Structure 1
Amino acid sequence: MEVKAAVSRVESINLFVDDLRDCPDGFTLARNFEQAIEILKNNSIHILTLDHDLGEDEQGKELPNGYELVKYFCEHGLRANKIYLHTDNPVGRKNMYETLLAAQRRGFIDSDIEIYHYPITKNTYSGT
């Protein structure tokens, strides 16, 4: 009797997290923190690219931003093969980058995740 092993192939997606910019080809879009968490928890991520500022609510209060997402990512040991920061916010970029590197050094996230402080795609905004 021949036993065949089931081969499970998990396809990875690329995730673009931004409240305003156009989503590049080949990426899945998350417009806010909650959408990003849902996608991160339920998919294998190859490339994760992050904005810092993710909008405001109706009262003008800042919504959870990319830095909050980075902290969640690190606290829960989530995974992406590569992480890029496409934000134009220099302070937010530095905070996200340094937090990711520190989490990696401390073993909260995998040491083989490639972390880049610059974008992989051109930032575009069509306003639609």
Structure 2
Amino acid sequence: MGTQKINLYVDDLRDCPSGFVVARTFQEAIHLLENHEVDILSLDHDLGEDLQGNLLPTGYDLVKYICEKGMRANKIYLHTDNPVGRENMYQTLHGAKRRGFIDSDIEIYHYSITENKYTE
């Protein structure tokens, strides 16, 4: 656990909102989660493709990793535009909470806390 508390915004394309640290990839997100205390975690589902056009690990992969490792953020918001991805992440987080894989006091929200913005 790092000492610095951060708000983490996981998204490959959107502008990082004020007050957040951005992770553009699954790997960056893991690094930040492992090295900082996270207050607010805001998740996108689709995190882009590699140079060959294969989907990179998604926000759902990140959710599964968080649940497997028992990691935490105080509040988790899902800002993805992908309805299936959102539902998968939401249900997985709630299931993990019910089964004790992640802390029971983590607040999980089905919506975004920030405005989704893209700079052209």
1:71 aligns with 2:54: no
Separation of aligned partners in 2, 1:50 and 1:70? 9
Separation of aligned partners in 2, 1:32 and 1:11? 21
Separation of aligned partners in 2, 1:29 and 1:49? 10
User: How is 1:83-122 mapped onto 2 (pairs within 5 angstroms)?
Assistant: 83-122=76-115
SS of the equivalent of 1:35 reads helix
Q: Deviations over 1:38-67 (max 9, x none)?
A: 000000000000000000001100000000
Larger radius of gyration: 1
User: How is 1:27-38 mapped onto 2 (pairs within 5 angstroms)?
Assistant: 27-38=20-31
Q: State the percentage of identical aligned residues.
A: 69
SS of the equivalent of 1:47 reads strand
Q: Which of 59, 73, 85 is the equivalent residue of 1:80?
A: 73
Separation of aligned partners in 2, 1:52 and 1:11? 26
> What CA RMSD, in Å, does the superposition of the two structures yield over aligned residues?
0.6
1:50 aligns with 2:43: yes
Separation of aligned partners in 2, 1:49 and 1:57? 22
Q: Which of 9, 28, 40 is the equivalent residue of 2:33?
A: 40
Aligned-residue offset at 1:11: 3.6
Separation of aligned partners in 2, 1:82 and 1:114? 5
| Count of equivalent residues | 118
The code of the aligned residue for 1:14 comes to: N
TM-score with structure 1 setting the length: 0.91
